[in-house]
Structure 1
Amino acid sequence: MNVDKLAPLPAVGELLSRYALFHTEDMDEARRRGADVFCDHRLDFAGSSRAFDARMCFRRLRGIGVGRMTYGGDVAIEPGRLEGFTLVQMPLSGHERIRSGDELIDSHPGVASVISPHRPVSMQHRAGTEKLFIRIDSAVLERHCIQHLGHDLRDPIDFRLDMSLDSTAGQRWMRAVQWLIAEAGQDDESGGAMALSSPLLAAQIEQMLISMLLMCQPNTYSERLRGESPSIAPAFVKRIEQYIEEHADEALTIVDLAEHAGVSSRSLFAGFRRFRDTTPMAYLKEVRLKRVHESLQRACDGNTTVTREALRWGFSHLGHFTAAYKRRFGESPSETLARG
């Protein structure tokens, strides 16, 4: 299976269309039919609008399932704990706010979500949002992880909630997903959808996707899966991450960070590249963007402005700041402030 050479994806409206599961304007029906794929959950309107036009396409493939869905309106989804499966959601359009345990993210076409089964989860699905999703049975995921590690799991597999689709790892994951969707959309004569029914190929696809997720998305066992010692090399990286979190409002340089870590700038760069797939200054920028986002979300009076918060967290070029903010959170800073 060559996932680096992709067949062109069909138009959004045609993705997985041969596997249409339901199309309804009845919320109770959508909840019941959705529960058959996911789990029992609460589904309610999240605003004054009563627009609702739910659609789902879904194909089961051994221990995984691939699908596409939209609710066609502003809705709140409360499944509690997923328990039996891990859910990866990749928005094609729109915006979702997802809380899992203590983590809260804004998911949009640049940021996917990876929801672990052991933490309570809730979602705010905005009108105009449509997404692809991959559902992975917990037992199958754990079995594959055990095979990779060579020993039983001591703790549940817990994934980082947000997946940046602009990162190298995120792009690798999306190539695998796009390959599967493109194959599923092929006519039977070309060996696509019919070939996916082959037990041998289905087993290979299941293994490929699960292995890709375990290696691409940070999780409880990432360091062991890469064959790295979790207690030696990353120590200075974690020290710098904590230092950045505590001093993000200060004028930090790479020299400052290297001196605090007690390593050379070169070693600091190498450590962040190897263990975090980023650079120290890019990590600092990400922390500062999150701080601006949190400040704008908490704004409850007329004294907070986008410019003031941007400058407070070190963003002097407002045009570049706004572009980076929109890529990260799927909306402009002023839109976040308006909802604060």
Structure 2
Amino acid sequence: MPGPASGSPIHPAETVLRTTSWDEACAAASAAYFPHRLSGLPGARSLDMDIRTVTMGPLTIGRLRYGADVRLECGELGIGYEVNIPTSGQVESVCGREEVASGPGRATVYLPVGRTSITRWSADCAQFGIKFERTYLETELERLLQHPARLPLRLAPSLDVSRGTGLSWLRLVRALVAQLGDTDALLRHRLVAGQLCSALTAGFLLATSHDYHAELAAAPPPARPKAVRRAIDVLESRPDEPWSVIDLAATVGSSVRRLQEGFRQYVGMSPMTYLREVRLRRAHEDLGRAAEEGRTVADVAHRWGFTHLGRFAAAYRKKYGVAPSHTLSLDG
């Protein structure tokens, strides 16, 4: 699998604002995290919003409070996963079909698919907010697993951060949030920011519940044979070429039978299935920016070797949970 950081380059950017303006508050939080509509709940007192965040390429971390009882309607997040950790007060949310209540010691996890709504953010509530770019988190998961995953990742909507691995991860979050106002903090250095993104992401995947948690927490898998490692490197670096298993075996100096057996044993799928997974991932990344470049779903599919649009759409929906056109529309 590819190395860390497949998404945005690591160029830390900062949001710092304190305001009593509803429009300014909504614009600042939307820019740092996800677009949404902000409104006060009945009887809410005057707004006193305070936000400070740092965006390190594919990951945003910060703290935020509103000083009033508010509601946030986000619709579908689409482009990322979000974790909100209250340090005071209470939050009530709708995550897809789940209603979730959180407070100190319990975080809420929001997915890229399904309705996202914070129905009540209490006036006394301050939260740490961590946003993961969707492509980055999913690629990091597959890198750690060393095989493709079923996506989008189905995460539990609530995370216990009062004990165990969740508390350990919260301590890492706190350590980084404590440095937000420090202009000399290492998290602002590109050589360190990438490693911090990777550590926060891996820590989160180990702390929260999902289909691959047991596999991640288990002992590392046995080393793959050289031919399998070389074949994976070839397919990751040259997925747009018209590979057959015969061509691939010849390229890595293996017999077809030995290569296929090695993939089944150490990767859990055939070489050609692995190639399709790589192409789907690249198509997913391309669709995220295709609209602004004037490209269509068909353009992206054909670029990555999918000549039958119906089969491409079915495979894409099975892996990512949405149609290719849905991902394209999020960019547009």
TM-score by length of 1: 0.57
For residues 50 and 181 of structure 1, the distance between their equivalents in structure 2, rounded to whole angstroms, comes to: 27
Indicate which of 150, 168, 174 corresponds to 1:172.
168
**Could you list the per-position Cα deviations for residues 243-279 of structure 1 after superposition, in whole angstroms to 9, with x for gaps in the alignment?**
xxxxxxxxxxxxxxxxxxxxxxxxxxxxxxxxxxxxx
**1:129 deviation in Å?**
0.8
Q: CA contact under 8 A between 1:51 and 1:74: conserved in structure 2?
A: no
Partner of 1:119: 114
Is the alpha carbon distance of 1:187 and 1:79 closer, same or farther for their aligned partners in structure 2, counting shifts above 3 Å?
A: closer
The answer to whether residue 129 in structure 2 is matched with residue 133 in structure 1 is yes
Trace 1:48-59 onto structure 2 (pairs within 5 A): 48-59=43-54
* Partner secondary structure for residue 47 of structure 1: coil
Indicate which of 220, 231, 238 corresponds to 2:211.
220
Q: Which amino acid aligns with 2:47?
A: F
* Same amino acid, percent of matched pairs: 27
Partner of 1:301: none
For residues 178 and 16 of structure 2, the distance between their equivalents in structure 1, rounded to whole angstroms, comes to: 18
Q: Which amino acid aligns with 1:46?
A: L
For residues 78 and 54 of structure 2, the distance between their equivalents in structure 1, rounded to whole angstroms, comes to: 21
For residues 95 and 78 of structure 1, the distance between their equivalents in structure 2, rounded to whole angstroms, comes to: 17
**1:102 deviation in Å?**
2.0
For residues 71 and 174 of structure 2, the distance between their equivalents in structure 1, rounded to whole angstroms, comes to: 28
* Partner secondary structure for residue 123 of structure 2: coil
* Gapped regions of structure 1 (runs ≥ 5): 1-17, 229-340
Indicate which of 168, 188, 200 corresponds to 1:209.
200
For residues 101 and 85 of structure 2, the distance between their equivalents in structure 1, rounded to whole angstroms, comes to: 12
Partner of 1:30: 25
Q: CA contact under 8 A between 2:67 and 2:125: conserved in structure 1?
A: yes
**1:226 deviation in Å?**
2.9
For residues 178 and 217 of structure 1, the distance between their equivalents in structure 2, rounded to whole angstroms, comes to: 17
For residues 132 and 179 of structure 2, the distance between their equivalents in structure 1, rounded to whole angstroms, comes to: 19
* Partner secondary structure for residue 225 of structure 1: helix
* Partner secondary structure for residue 152 of structure 1: coil
Q: Where has structure 1 moved over 4 Å in runs of 4 or more?
A: 183-187
Q: CA contact under 8 A between 1:114 and 1:159: conserved in structure 2?
A: yes
For residues 227 and 20 of structure 1, the distance between their equivalents in structure 2, rounded to whole angstroms, comes to: 38
**Could you list the per-position Cα deviations for residues 270-319 of structure 1 after superposition, in whole angstroms to 9, with x for gaps in the alignment?**
xxxxxxxxxxxxxxxxxxxxxxxxxxxxxxxxxxxxxxxxxxxxxxxxxx
**1:24 deviation in Å?**
1.4
**Could you list the per-position Cα deviations for residues 118-160 of structure 1 after superposition, in whole angstroms to 9, with x for gaps in the alignment?**
1211111111111111111111101100101112222311211
Q: CA contact under 8 A between 2:33 and 2:60: conserved in structure 1?
A: no
Q: CA contact under 8 A between 1:92 and 1:108: conserved in structure 2?
A: yes
The answer to whether residue 82 in structure 2 is matched with residue 91 in structure 1 is no
Partner of 2:225: none
Indicate which of 56, 75, 91 corresponds to 1:80.
75
TM-score by length of 2: 0.58
Q: Which amino acid aligns with 1:97?
A: E
**1:223 deviation in Å?**
2.6
**1:184 deviation in Å?**
4.2
**Could you list the per-position Cα deviations for residues 212-252 of structure 1 after superposition, in whole angstroms to 9, with x for gaps in the alignment?**
00111002321332349xxxxxxxxxxxxxxxxxxxxxxxx
The answer to whether residue 97 in structure 2 is matched with residue 108 in structure 1 is no
Q: CA contact under 8 A between 1:163 and 1:217: conserved in structure 2?
A: yes
* Partner secondary structure for residue 204 of structure 2: helix
Is the alpha carbon distance of 1:154 and 1:20 closer, same or farther for their aligned partners in structure 2, counting shifts above 3 Å?
A: closer
Q: Which amino acid aligns with 1:111?
A: R
For residues 115 and 35 of structure 1, the distance between their equivalents in structure 2, rounded to whole angstroms, comes to: 15
* Gapped regions of structure 2 (runs ≥ 5): 1-12, 220-332
The answer to whether residue 59 in structure 2 is matched with residue 68 in structure 1 is no
Trace 1:300-311 onto structure 2 (pairs within 5 A): none
